[in-house]
């Protein structure tokens, strides 16, 4: 591709924290040789303080001041004005919207006629558990209305793709992947000789989605084991078990060190897209125990490359089994899955194809 005439790729990302942040960093950095990459974003509590350092220096970062997780129509209107201005200034060849806030606003203000528009949900809001059926119907109705616009939804997992097909036929699937070269480099330079060993860990915001109550229940049932939650959040008070350590928000290097010092990864989420933390744990050769939800069960095949659990007692049983039996074949299978499928090389090639296809349709 002619470097002097690279197409311009504009991302809008309201939820730039946690797994979505890792996803955007890896994807943007993998595409910057072939595209002039711009990112309109917002800051969250879990966004690293040094977030700019994660990106290739050629990536253009543009802060959207009025991106908000709230349902304020005024905020949404102001965010829409900012997004339109950014698009006017950048003159992109492709617009890609990430997560529900940017996805809803963006599909309403960009018509997709002159510039192809893509949208990745990263976990549909209407698939949330723990909320009322009325809210689920409202969220699904919003997605249904927005799906009528001229945009292609790119699902990040097989389950999310099937959910998308219930809304629109303008759909594609590109499973999430991690940058294994960067992760391996960090692992090679991380000294864990002076750290504390943990039996079970998880990573993410301590929120309803990540289901801290069940994590706490499992820890209470296994008082002789050490549990670790890498992260922080509004439901921190639900983690009352004395054998749980909470790190608070820490940088990537520190989080990686904690993960490497732990034996098993447990993800008890109520809903997911396709969690980056799970893919990284698989690559780090941790036995993975996950909840039975879209995203998790798209990656983990029960008894083949990890375990899917439906109750706190099932997690307990699997953890105790790991302590008694060799589960190396599951761990090795999970590692191989990441090498062959869930990595940035595979993901970036798929996106290049979809973006170029979108650009070609303009002419």
At 361 the pLDDT is 81
At 1 the pLDDT is 43
**Own/partner long-range contacts of 33-36 (Cβ < 8 Å, ≥24 apart):** 34/1, 34/6, 34/7, 34/352, 35/6, 35/7, 35/8, 35/9, 35/94, 35/355, 36/6, 36/7, 36/8, 36/9, 36/60
CATH class of the structural domain 180-340: alpha beta
At 148 the pLDDT is 94
- Nearest residue to 300 (alpha-carbon basis) of 314, 286, 282: 282
Query: Where do the CATH 3.40.50.2000 domains begin and end in the chain?
Result: 3-177+343-360, 180-340
- Quote the CATH superfamily of domain 3-177+343-360: Glycogen Phosphorylase B; (3.40.50.2000)
For the chain, which residues score pLDDT lower than 50? 1-3
Q: C-alpha distances in angstroms, 14 versus 67, 102, 199?
A: 6, 6, 34
pLDDT per position as a tens digit, 83-136: 999 999 999 999 999 998 999 999 999 999 899 999 999 988 888 777 788 988
Q: Please enumerate in sequence order all residues whose Cβ is within 8 A of that of 63, keeping only pairs 6 or more positions apart, or say none.
A: 40, 41, 42, 43
Q: Give the sheet arrangement for strand 152-155, strand by strand.
A: 60-63, 36-41, 8-13, 94-98, 117-120, 152-155, 171-173
DSSP letter at 2? -
Structure tokens at 70: 């709230």
At 358 the pLDDT is 93
**What's the CA gap between 223 and 219, in Å, rounded?**
6
At 69 the pLDDT is 72
At 17 the pLDDT is 79
């Amino acid at each position: 591709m002619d470097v002097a005439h690279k197409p311009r790729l504009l991302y809008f990302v309201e939820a730039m924290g946690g797994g979505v942040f890792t996803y955007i960093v890896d994807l943007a950095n993998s595409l910057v040789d072939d595209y002039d990459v711009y990112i309109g974003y917002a800051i969250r509590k879990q966004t690293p303080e040094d977030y700019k350092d994660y990106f290739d220096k050629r990536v253009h970062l543009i802060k959207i001041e009025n991106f908000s997780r709230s349902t304020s129509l005024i905020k949404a209107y102001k965010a829409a004005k900012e997004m339109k201005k950014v698009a006017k200034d950048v003159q992109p060849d492709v617009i890609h919207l990430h997560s529900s806030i940017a996805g809803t606003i963006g599909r309403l203000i960009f018509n997709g006629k002159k510039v192809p528009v893509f949208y990745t949900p990263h976990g549909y809001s209407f698939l949330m558990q723990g909320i009322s059926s009325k809210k689920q119907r409202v969220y699904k109705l919003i997605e249904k209305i927005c799906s009528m616009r001229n945009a292609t939804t790119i699902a990040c997992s097989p389950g999310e793709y099937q959910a998308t097909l219930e809304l629109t036929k303008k759909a594609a699937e590109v499973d999430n992947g991690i940058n294994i070269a960067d992760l391996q480099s960090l692992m090679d330079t991380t000294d864990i000789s002076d750290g504390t060993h943990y039996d079970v860990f998880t990573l993410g915001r301590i929120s309803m989605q990540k289901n801290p109550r069940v994590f706490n229940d499992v820890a209470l049932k296994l008082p002789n084991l050490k549990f670790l939650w890498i992260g922080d959040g509004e439901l921190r008070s639900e983690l009352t078990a004395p054998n749980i350590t909470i790190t608070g928000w820490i940088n990537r290097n520190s989080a990686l060190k904690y993960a490497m010092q732990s034996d098993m990864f447990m993800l008890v989420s109520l809903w997911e897209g396709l969690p980056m933390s799970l893919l990284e744990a698989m690559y780090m050769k941790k036995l993975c125990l996950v909840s039975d939800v879209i995203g998790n069960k798209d990656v983990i095949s029960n008894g083949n490359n990890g375990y899917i659990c439906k109750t706190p007692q099932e997690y307990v049983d699997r953890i105790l089994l790991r302590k008694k039996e060799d589960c190396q074949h599951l761990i090795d299978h999970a590692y191989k899955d990441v090498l062959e499928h869930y990595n940035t090389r595979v993901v970036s090639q798929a996106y290049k194809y979809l973006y170029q296809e979108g650009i070609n349709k303009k002419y």
